[in-house]
Amino acid sequence: MECYPEQMCALAVDGELPPNEAQRLRDHLATCERCRKLVDALRVENRMLSESLRELSEEAISGLSFAPQHRSWGWSDLAIVAAVLVLGWIVVPWIDGLSIPSALEWLNPYSTDNLTNMVFNVSYYFAHGGIAMLADYATAVGGFFLLLGGALLLGRRWRSHVGLCLLTVLLSLSLPSFALERRHSEFVTVPANETVDDTLLAVGNTVRVEGVVNGDLLAFGRIVEVRGSVKGDLVSFAKRTVVSGTVEGRIYDFSQSLDLDGELGHSLYGWVQSLRVNDRAQVGEGIVAGAGDVSLEGNVKRSATIFAGNTDISGAVGRDLTMTGGSLTLTDTARIGGDLSARVRHLKDVHIADGATVAGKRDIQVRVRKNPFMRPRYYFHQAVWLAGAMLVGWLGLLLFPGFFQATTQLVGSGWRSLGLGLGVLAGVPVAMVVAVITLVGIPVSLMLLVTYLAAIYLAKVWVGAFLGRIILRPTGTTTGDWLLSLLVGLLILTILGFIPYLGGLIRLVVICLGLGAFVWELYRASRPVMTV
């Protein structure tokens, strides 16, 4: 009988020949030594292949300790981090104790004044150079993103993640368009004889309103001036904002300087470098402001809450004045209708002229900034903070178990999470500005903002849980184990947060890690499901 070709023999060795064929081959092997040898060789070869491949699974993993919480950070990395922290603990107070020459003060990143200044300058340069260009391209870019988003949503089969579905539903619900008018050019102006009935979104180098805006005014520009009247709220992001007309609603301001000369119906909320409420100005309700310098010469009907480097009051505050910051000056003309409470660093920075009137109590405290550990309230706050984070973690695990566990795991990918997180942390605000400019993007931008803030809060939960898992190395993956890890991790993060200055850096790293893991998991979760 003729010998079998090698492929037949290979099939036989792989057990893929039909039974009758296999039987015939076996009969042949009994008589033919050449074929028998071939079959034996093939068998040996198969075994060799299996063994060689199998060995990979042993060898490849042993190097990594591929536990459920696989991570690319080893103990050595942790040791280095710990060493750096200890060093920081020793060095930073020493640096803090050194006096910095005032000429170099602007270099000190820890000074709020200069930080604010820097933030404004940077954002101004970005806005000035960027906005004109962005405004031109924004429509195209926004359209592109919308198309892309739509294609992603339709084209891919989303996992049955409740969270993602919920997000999509919310997103689509938030889409009904606003009654909104949008203008952008170098010089956006509403002339004195014009009335805009809708909300006005104005983007330009200079935004000037001399007429009437019946809705809200959202203004982005270098200079925003309201000389006419805005019936709704004014939201302003500018280098300089001047309100000499009337705003009947509220003012939300993020500017380098804000001058209020006219009349404001409700409250003023601001984060500005320099805030001036001039003597002709009227504020219908209160002021809540964080600022470098505050000069209050006008009339505030209700309370003022101010966090500022320097506060000068020569006008009237109808109710309480609460101030935290560097220095406080009340001139002879100042009148406070309620209590005055101030938290300052040195008592000598508070000047209250004899002519100033304070109807209620005067409560001036020197901030004991050095040692918050002495106050029981501090521990209470920490406990509340911890309990809140635990609760959020528990709820998250209950609602989105897979997502939370996976995100916790992904924190372990170390540098990838960190880099991605840093990019997202910096990139999302830019994306939001772009989205806002594209008009249709406003709801998307708001959704993005909510998700962004939520993720920043949750970052410590994921990082905490991950940290706890490294330390406890629980064998199981039950909710209880996860929560226990979370508790331990959060405690550690809290303690690390106490380190002066470095604590802040650690928080930043935690946020980046968590955010990175979140975004990565979001990306992974949105990939199509395979069919089993």
Q: Tell whether residue 374 is a contact of another protein (CB under 8 A).
A: no
Query: Could you give the CA distance from residue 532 to residue 37 in angstroms, rounded to a whole number?
Result: 40
From 26, 47, 157, 351, residue interacting with another protein (rule: CB under 8 A): 47
Q: How far apart are CA 63 and CA 282, in angstroms?
A: 71
Task: Report, in Å, the least distance between residue 161 CB and another protein.
Answer: 11
Distances (CA, A) of 110 to 113, 116, 136, 197, 372: 9, 10, 37, 45, 18
* Minimum distance of another protein from residue 31's CB (angstroms): 19
Q: Does 523 sit near another protein (CB under 8 A)?
A: no
Examine residue 169 and tell whether it contacts another protein (CB under 8 A). no
- Residue 46, interface with another protein (CB under 8 A)? yes
Identified binder of another protein from the candidate list 52, 76, 102, 177, rule CB under 8 A: 52
Give the whole-angstrom CA distance, residue 364 versus residue 347.
Answer: 8
Nearer to another protein, 55 or 332 (CB): 55
Q: Segment contacting another protein (CB under 8 A): 97-105, 275-283, 337-345, 521-529? A: 521-529
At 391, list the tokens. Answer: 């609760």
Write down the least CB distance from residue 22 to another protein, Å: 14
Residue 195, strand partner residues: 212
Q: Which is nearer to another protein, 67 or 384 (CB)?
A: 67
- Closest contact distance (angstroms) between CB of 409 and another protein is 7
Binding mask 457-496 for another protein (x = CB under 8 A): ------------------xxxxx-----------------
* Shortest separation between residue 513's beta carbon and another protein, angstroms: 18
C-beta closer to another protein: residue 360 or 402: 402
Task: Give alpha helix (H) positions in 204-266.
Answer: none
Sheet-wide strand order for 195-196: 195-196, 212-213, 229-230, 246-247, 263-264, 282-283, 299-300, 316-317, 335-336, 357-358
| Residues 172, 362: Cα–Cα separation, whole Å | 52
Phi-psi category of residue 325: left, alpha or beta, with phi > 0 → left and psi -120 to 50 → alpha = left
Minimum distance from residue 236 beta carbon to another protein (Å): 46
Q: Is 45 in the site for another protein (CB under 8 A)?
A: yes
**Token representation of residue 295:** 């000069």
Residue 55 as a binder of another protein (CB under 8 A): the answer is yes
For CA atoms 63, 65, 66, 71, the dihedral sign is negative
**Among residues 163, 360, 372, 402, the one that binds another protein under rule CB under 8 A:** 402
Q: What is the DSSP letter of 181?
A: E
Q: Which of residues 16-35 bind another protein (CB under 8 A)?
A: 16
Instruction: State yes or no: residue 148 binds another protein (CB under 8 A).
Output: no
- What would the x/- binding string for another protein be over residues 405 to 424, using CB under 8 A? -x--x---------------
How far apart (Å, rounded) are the C-alpha atoms in residues 199 and 215? 4
Nearer to another protein, 11 or 435 (CB): 11
Q: Is 156 in the site for another protein (CB under 8 A)?
A: no
What length is written for the chain?
532
**Residue with Cβ nearer another protein (59 or 354):** 59
DSSP assignment of 342-402 equals EEES-GGGEEE-TT-EE-S-EEEEE---S-GGG-HHHHHHHHHHHHHHHHHHHHHHHHSHH
User: Which of 70, 128, 346, 367 is in the footprint of another protein by CB under 8 A?
Assistant: 70
Residue 465 C-beta: closest distance to another protein, Å: 15
Residue 398 contacts another protein per CB under 8 A? no
**Shortest distance in whole angstroms from residue 523 CB to another protein:** 11
Compute the C-alpha angle 346/352/354, nearest 5°: 145
Q: Binding residue for another protein (CB under 8 A) from 23, 57, 172, 174? A: 57
Place of tokens 């410590």: 460
How would DSSP label each residue in 73-111? --HHHHHHHHHHHHHHHHHHHHHHHSPPPGGGGGG-TT-
CB nearer another protein, residue 16 or residue 186: 16
In angstroms, give the least distance from the CB of 516 to another protein.
Answer: 15
- CA 137, CA 434: separation in Å to the nearest integer? 9
Backbone conformation region of residue 37, classed left if phi is above 0, alpha if psi is from -120 to 50, else beta: alpha
* Residue 49 binds another protein, judged by CB under 8 A: yes
Interface residues for another protein in 271-330 (CB under 8 A)? none
| CA distance linking residue 175 with residue 161, whole number of Å | 22
Stretch of 105-113, 224-232, 327-335, 522-530 contacting another protein, by CB under 8 A? 522-530
Task: Please pick, from the candidates 26, 30, 65, 68, the single residue that binds another protein as defined by CB under 8 A.
Answer: 68
Tokens 């209470």 identify what position?
Answer: 380
532 binds another protein (CB under 8 A): yes
Rule CB under 8 A: is residue 44 a binding residue for another protein? Answer: yes
Residue 48 interacts with another protein (CB under 8 A)? yes
**Nearer to another protein by C-beta: 98 or 530?**
530
Size of the site for another protein (CB under 8 A): 47
DSSP β-bridge partners for residue 203: 184, 220
Binding residues for another protein, rule: CB under 8 A, are 5-8, 10-11, 14-16, 38, 41-42, 44-58, 60-61, 66, 68, 70, 402, 406, 409, 475-479, 524, 527-532
